Amino acid sequence: MTLRRLALALLATGSVATTIAGCSSDSPSPSVDYLIDGAVTTYNANTVEGGRSGALMAWNRVLPGFSYLGPDGSNVADTDVGTVSEVLGDQQTLRYQFSDKAVFSDGKPMDCDDLVLAWAAQSGRFEGFTPATTAGYRDIESVDCDPGQKSATVTFAKGRDYRDWRGLFGAGTLLPAHQAAAAAGVPDVVAPIRNRNTGAVARIAKFWNTGWSLTPGSIDPARNPASKYPSSGPYKLESYSATDGLVLVANDKWWGDKPTEPRITVWPRGTDGAQRLSAGQIDVMDTGRGTYGSGSVNQTPSSSAPPVNGATEGRPTSTGVERLVMSTSGPLADPNVRRALAACLPRDQLAQTAGTAISNLHLLGAGDLVAATLNGEFGADAQRADVDKARALLKTAGRTAPVAVRIGYPGPDQRRAQTVSQIASSCAGAGFRIQDAAFTGSEPALEAVLTGSGDDFAASGAADPTRDSYALYAGDPANVGRYDDKGVADGIDELAVTSDGQTRTTRLRDLEKTLWDQMPSVPLFVSPREVQWRSGVGNVVAASGRNGAGWNMDRWELR
């Protein structure tokens, strides 16, 4: 029994709380309206832009892979797509086998070309690609694939047995390679990548980076979106606009269990989702707590909305950690200035306002077992603001004039705006001039940003923290602060291939000492996530990872 079916069975027996709700009165047909707090500007959740947004939250069941994150943030095999088996040998080797039935909604089969493209784009070995991170894929030495075949052999570099291998080639990663090949003017992507044909690879990379971009209003349902954005899951893209949301409909080429509801409307940042929440026209929401103020799916509806029959709320313990990431260039280049900013942060008040626990670790989320051991060993002298210490550190750095620091985040976001306001009030007396630099669209160059784990702005984290640790790895795209320490990078590399608990704990302790000293970022508190659903939508299961509650949206049911 798959995890999705198991969750459904538990719900049916009353072992898990469920809820319901009507559908929006102005929908063209019954739809579950799903509000998220990330923008969706690309079909590719693996680019820098896509990885930090709400793309994975939206495309969970549109672009499945060999695994997905379950409700606790752990990897679960998705056997609808295919199977993965370990091959014995001196080097870690995995055999990927696609289901014979696996096909994109444009009729093209899923095949090993899609694996090759995902690896090449995210490995850091081929110029031109802009992946969100190279974690895991950087350790793969080769992907043995005959173009168009249903199987591939993935071999890791000697000594690089990646511990989180089940998370590779997962949901959102397997984009249609046949489209990239067509855009590059080559028969397939395998040959130019294997032969390192720099011209062809550059064209493939350009398409992978931007060829699947999309914005509200750019999708015309009359022009068959499936031809440009083919799906391999139970849902496919039908339309996308600010006023009508991102509309997903049942994929008639899907070979697995038919989705319970034929239509899901996702409301990302940049659409009218917030207004619909205020009007009582949202059925399911998965957002940062307080992002949209006190709005809830139990909002008193407008006269045009259906009656509200109550709601169920889930507050999963997020695997992500809210962090203040500081640039290691500009005004914060001196570690003493970064230490000063950290010293004046009212971390106890920030956590209390967010309604979650203080987190003291840079490299682990709340869901990691080792975190319980190490969390109390760090940050004890940084729980409360120490303005005198901050002022002294600035004096040591030779700063006499106020240090201007712009703190950014995707706006509007009421909870993060409050965080910046609290920091500004606390740090003003220490010699900092904090400015709220909320942005819409592309992220500008700033001195600091508020993010979740892995530098994601929406839902973040996973039960295994390996991928997110690369946000502090020198040269990795996820490292937005451009922190560069070889010892830390070597330590992250070691942790990525180490499973022994005692060895991991010892290495993590050493790394945390360095990170608390150099202060490239400050862990603040466990990311406050809030999942709500109306008393008319069944089978919603709150999730704690970066994919959000939509991990099983094909099982949601209007009653």
Question: For the segment 412-421, what is each residue's pLDDT rounded down to a tens digit?
Answer: 999 999 999 9
The secondary structure element, H or E, covering residue 201 is helix 198-210
Gap between the Cα atoms of 464 and 432, Å rounded: 36
Q: What CATH code is carried by the domain that includes residue 19?
A: 3.40.190.10
Residue range(s) defining the domain that contains residue 107:
79-169+176-210
Mean pLDDT value across the chain: 91
Shared-domain flag, residues 362 and 410: yes
What DSSP assignment string belongs to 315-347? ----S-EEEEEE-SSGGG-SHHHHHHHHHT--H
Q: Which of 448, 399, 420, 283 is nearest to 350 (CA)?
A: 420
- Residue-level pLDDT at 311: 63
Coil/strand/helix, residue 388: helix
Q: What CATH code is carried by the domain that includes residue 127?
A: 3.90.76.10
Gap between the Cα atoms of 304 and 262, Å rounded: 23
Beta bridge partners of 451: 323
Gap between the Cα atoms of 433 and 403, Å rounded: 6
Shared-domain flag, residues 481 and 369: yes
Of 215-229, 288-302, 431-445, 502-516, the poorest mean pLDDT is in: 288-302
- Overall domain count for the chain: 3
Higher pLDDT, 44 or 299: 44
359-383 per-position pLDDT tens digit: 999 999 877 888 888 999 999 899 9
Given a cut of 50, whether residue 303 has pLDDT beyond it is no
Q: What CATH code is carried by the domain that includes residue 452?
A: 3.10.105.10
In a domain, residue 72? The reply is no
Shared-domain flag, residues 533 and 496: no
In a domain, residue 298? The reply is yes
Given a cut of 90, whether residue 27 has pLDDT beyond it is no
Q: Stretch 515-544: mean pLDDT, rounded?
A: 94
Q: Angle at the Cα of 319 (from 314 to 324), degrees rounded to 5? A: 110
- Residue-level pLDDT at 19: 33
37-68 per-position pLDDT tens digit: 999 999 999 999 999 999 999 999 999 999 99
- Residue-level pLDDT at 314: 64
Q: Stretch 143-154: mean pLDDT, rounded?
A: 98
- Residue-level pLDDT at 313: 67
pLDDT-derived band of residue 136, with 50, 70 and 90 as boundaries?
A: very high
Shared-domain flag, residues 231 and 361: no
Shared-domain flag, residues 485 and 537: no
In a domain, residue 265? The reply is yes
Residue 481 has a CB neighbour count (10 Å cut-off) of 23
In a domain, residue 74? The reply is no
256-272 per-position pLDDT tens digit: 999 999 999 999 999 99
In a domain, residue 370? The reply is yes
Shared-domain flag, residues 350 and 427: yes
- pLDDT above 90 covers a percentage of the chain that reads 80
Shared-domain flag, residues 199 and 235: no
Shared-domain flag, residues 55 and 105: no
324-349 per-position pLDDT tens digit: 999 999 999 999 999 999 999 999 99
Residue 200 has a CB neighbour count (10 Å cut-off) of 18
Placement of tokens 């180490």 in the chain = 498
- Residue-level pLDDT at 317: 74
478-498 per-position pLDDT tens digit: 999 999 999 999 999 999 999
In a domain, residue 69? The reply is no
In a domain, residue 360? The reply is yes
Gap between the Cα atoms of 391 and 399, Å rounded: 9
Beta bridge partners of 67: 77
The secondary structure element, H or E, covering residue 408 is strand 403-408
- Residue-level pLDDT at 300: 42
In a domain, residue 70? The reply is no
pLDDT-derived band of residue 410, with 50, 70 and 90 as boundaries?
A: very high
The secondary structure element, H or E, covering residue 55 is helix 55-59
Gap between the Cα atoms of 403 and 405, Å rounded: 6
Residue after which a domain boundary falls, among 210, 229, 262: 210
Shared-domain flag, residues 115 and 182: yes
Shared-domain flag, residues 415 and 310: no
Shared-domain flag, residues 377 and 398: yes
Shared-domain flag, residues 381 and 496: yes
0.75 exceeded by the pTM? yes
